[in-house]
Structure 1
């Protein structure tokens, strides 16, 4: 534990030795909070300790201190970075310093703090106020800006009544003698810094690891966050722009591609130059993964993907240097598709995901090198009709998303005309309005002995709201008349929906048993 006087703190910042790392968020306090901080220091109330990271390695990029561009350090080592206490330090520096010009684009209203000589001394109420120039009353309001400016302070004190001068002198003494507590973390290990920063974050906002990594890897030509934003724009036409909203997923893909391990800790230990020089591999990996999912599995958006983490090992497989395109042979393609279905139907990433993903990364690398690979070779359950009888349709669940992709493999047709459903547009806007009951709810309610829930997966199919409204909430034998009348077309519509013509027998229980068996058989075919 150490501490600073305010004068020492001002000097440390002014000399460029106390800096704000880029992963810190900007200054957000308003004038009232700054005034209350001054009141707390004046009255000797605890204001909390600063947490300072001392390192021999200066970051390539750091943040301004509020509206102030920090000068280059006057000496080489060490450099102190503020991990906790930015709002307090910015407030203290902005209120008291008079030498560094602020950035004109930033508002400075919060820096004009005055001591109100006529305010009552009260433990609860603040005796400090933030004022615009036209609100200042002399001699009632004395500017704190002059407390550490010897010439300015002396000039302002001349001519004041003795009682007010003594009062101001006492206030100044409180600030010149105040100590700002600080704790020092001395390390060059950036992983330790990340963990500490996360644990002491007082605002309860999760650590933005992307900002940390941006700081670690920054150069004049390379900004990791901007690279991810550009990659997001590249993926937008393919429906995967949401990847950019999940910085944790992007970081894990990046780490997996560059280091063969999806942990953030691993990526933080990489040399910044390595991340910059090989980032094109991350781009090619994600683009190749998205292309494979679209063309082979009808996954048209991140929301369609049963588990977003599936992108991680896929990105590893498709990552190539120098924008070269990976040629996937039949064996590799078959192995990846089988792995996908086994992983999804068995909800494999729901349990011990880190360990499971790492195993899949290693298997993907072997498959990519045409070496013996265990990708998809793990204990898994065969699909049973009960899966589709008992599971209910809930848009956001892993099993429902997998079920939707299972239906998509059959290239479903519209129930009215038999024309192909545009899976790309339907699945991009993935929502429950694109799926409806084959046996309508209102009809099932009339049955005396339904054995299954009307919302079970075996009763759900691709069907637009328009088609569903046209067919109406009637028995299948009745809505059949509203479908394309040609028997061969009806048969084709049904077969593309995993249905037999027996759907028109109006026997709900028998239909669910029959369709659940068809779905289970198809699921097992895909997994085997």
Structure 2
């Protein structure tokens, strides 16, 4: 599977130069800072370990598309080895010690500049030398400029200037003998004996660096995709974690076809990719604003493994539907190309489904995993999904998942289990709904504990109330799709927080979903002032010329009893609306809700919302 050994730095850099060691295409370009490169060189100079390299033999199942280390200059060279971990170290060492081209280095401001590195010979030879202090970073012009770049601090722009200042150019390290003898001859012509210094530098610095050995972990070509990718990520703990999409991009790029998965997903300068096509008819922050490329791959993998399972079962074999990471990494290019178009259409149909539920924006989507499940279902069912019977089943499944908070854990397993079961249910091959849907429950007391906007069920009631046609207190406009596009709508308190605190109301009840409803930011300014409902309702009527009867009808669209709200009767309002929201949940889930279990009322305030309400109050004043 793998072996470990050591190899000289010189040999490694030669292999990099000749293209025998290259990088897999997915490795991201990243430029180290001056400090990081100097620290690396100082460690090498001291003979300290700088970490092992992870290298993969080419020629096996995993054949990532290669690209050369930055700074190399060759073409059409097929590498023998791919450097999976150690890119920045090898790139930095190659550019600073081996290349005649200046290294690309990031400065303290984050700007990338071309730099050449030197070592002060005299400082380097001081006992217990601070090598970081002995290494000097100069510009591509071989000059070190003072702050603001108006005056030269050091000038190494000629070989004579290097000799005079005892500055050894580190990119001559592996051909140091020639430079050092020229340095010796330069000073001998000026009657200065530098023989001992030259010899000491050669023996104590140059030899230590040129004979430096780096530990190598070499993965054999016999390793499969999942093993290679898993090992890479375990070893590459200090780097940027790569997801399955990036790894699969490299795998597909290494095929004979050289398929560009990234371009297929994100598009190119002239051609829109799948993501852009999916987002085309949705708002800027729509349900696809947070979709991940791996979500799309999960859907393709579900369809591929379902098809594989059906074929194997015909042969009397067993197989599993799955979208776990190892299955994503094993997805064949042929399977991706076969299913991707259907999946893309499936995601667009899923977005239309969510629009009917009044969920348009990514931050209002209770569970992104449900979007993936819907995409798979629509991809398989096609036109069969667009009838009232199937839509009713999908509605019930969706709201049971949201209000029953089904998809908070073991998501991959539930996706793989639910997709086939939903499809069988829709086609009446299965009499009951999917297991997750049948097991989902909602109890009335959950309403009390529902206070955080991150909660799936909290987001669900937000959408359900708007779907049922609730209207804004001030404008009387339903929160339809067009309204959502034009104004800011969020869930806000009905009995103001300040009023509740003044009247010593239970904080848990105050902040629960029972005391909240979708409102525009304009309406909320009347509420956050802290007046009693009877007062702010009267103000809304007077300032906007709204008849009390009309405002009462608006309140009813929010499942609010107008008489209880106008009487400032918080306790009666709370119990009445709790029962109505429970009925709303039962209707959406198409199944009864569990009775109130009279659980202890433990406050659990949504601090983010408190801060937001206080900010709105400041603006209103």
Common fold: TM-score over 0.5: yes
Compute the displacement of 1:366 (Å).
2.8
Structure 1, gaps ≥5 residues long: none
Of 516-525 and 434-443, the range deviating more from structure 2: 434-443
Partner of 2:282: 238
Question: Aligned match of 1:141 in 167, 171, 174?
Answer: 167
1:319 aligns with 2:392: no
Aligned length in residues: 516
Compute the displacement of 1:332 (Å).
1.6
Partner of 2:357: 297
Question: Aligned match of 2:578 in 499, 516, 521?
Answer: 516
Report 1:476-495 matches (<5 A): 476-481=533-538, 482-483=540-541, 485-486=546-547, 489-495=550-556
Compute the displacement of 1:81 (Å).
1.3
Deviations 1:360-385 (A, max 9, x none): 12223434655326544444455444
1:20 aligns with 2:23: yes
SS in 1 for 2:56: strand
Of 167-176 and 15-24, the range deviating more from structure 2: 167-176
Structure 2, gaps ≥5 residues long: 105-110, 144-154, 187-193, 267-272, 307-321, 591-621
In 2: Cα distance, 1:328 partner to 1:123 partner: 78
Partner of 2:513: 457
Question: Aligned match of 1:418 in 440, 456, 476?
Answer: 476
Aligned 8 A contact 1:27 1:86 in 2 = no
SS in 2 for 1:4: strand
Partner of 2:446: 387
Deviations 1:376-407 (A, max 9, x none): 4444455444232x124322222211111221
Of 48-57 and 233-242, the range deviating more from structure 2: 233-242
Cα distance, 1:10–1:413 mapped onto 2, change above 3 Å: same
In 2: Cα distance, 1:387 partner to 1:462 partner: 19
In 1: Cα distance, 2:99 partner to 2:524 partner: 72
In 2: Cα distance, 1:215 partner to 1:326 partner: 37
Of 120-129 and 329-338, the range deviating more from structure 2: 120-129
Question: Aligned match of 1:67 in 48, 71, 81?
Answer: 71
Compute the displacement of 1:510 (Å).
1.0
In 2: Cα distance, 1:211 partner to 1:154 partner: 46
Compute the displacement of 1:164 (Å).
4.0
Compute the displacement of 1:443 (Å).
3.5
Cα distance, 1:458–1:283 mapped onto 2, change above 3 Å: same
In 1: Cα distance, 2:470 partner to 2:393 partner: 25
In 2: Cα distance, 1:39 partner to 1:439 partner: 65
In 2: Cα distance, 1:179 partner to 1:429 partner: 64
1:125 aligns with 2:130: yes
TM-score normalized by the length of structure 1: 0.86
In 1: Cα distance, 2:486 partner to 2:384 partner: 26
Question: Aligned match of 2:531 in 446, 462, 474?
Answer: 474
Cα distance, 1:7–1:502 mapped onto 2, change above 3 Å: same
In 2: Cα distance, 1:159 partner to 1:62 partner: 45
Deviations 1:196-236 (A, max 9, x none): 11111232643333321211123777432333333333316
Compute the displacement of 1:249 (Å).
3.4
In 1: Cα distance, 2:210 partner to 2:83 partner: 22
In 1: Cα distance, 2:531 partner to 2:361 partner: 34
Partner of 2:602: none
Aligned-residue CA RMSD (Å): 3.3
Partner of 2:618: none
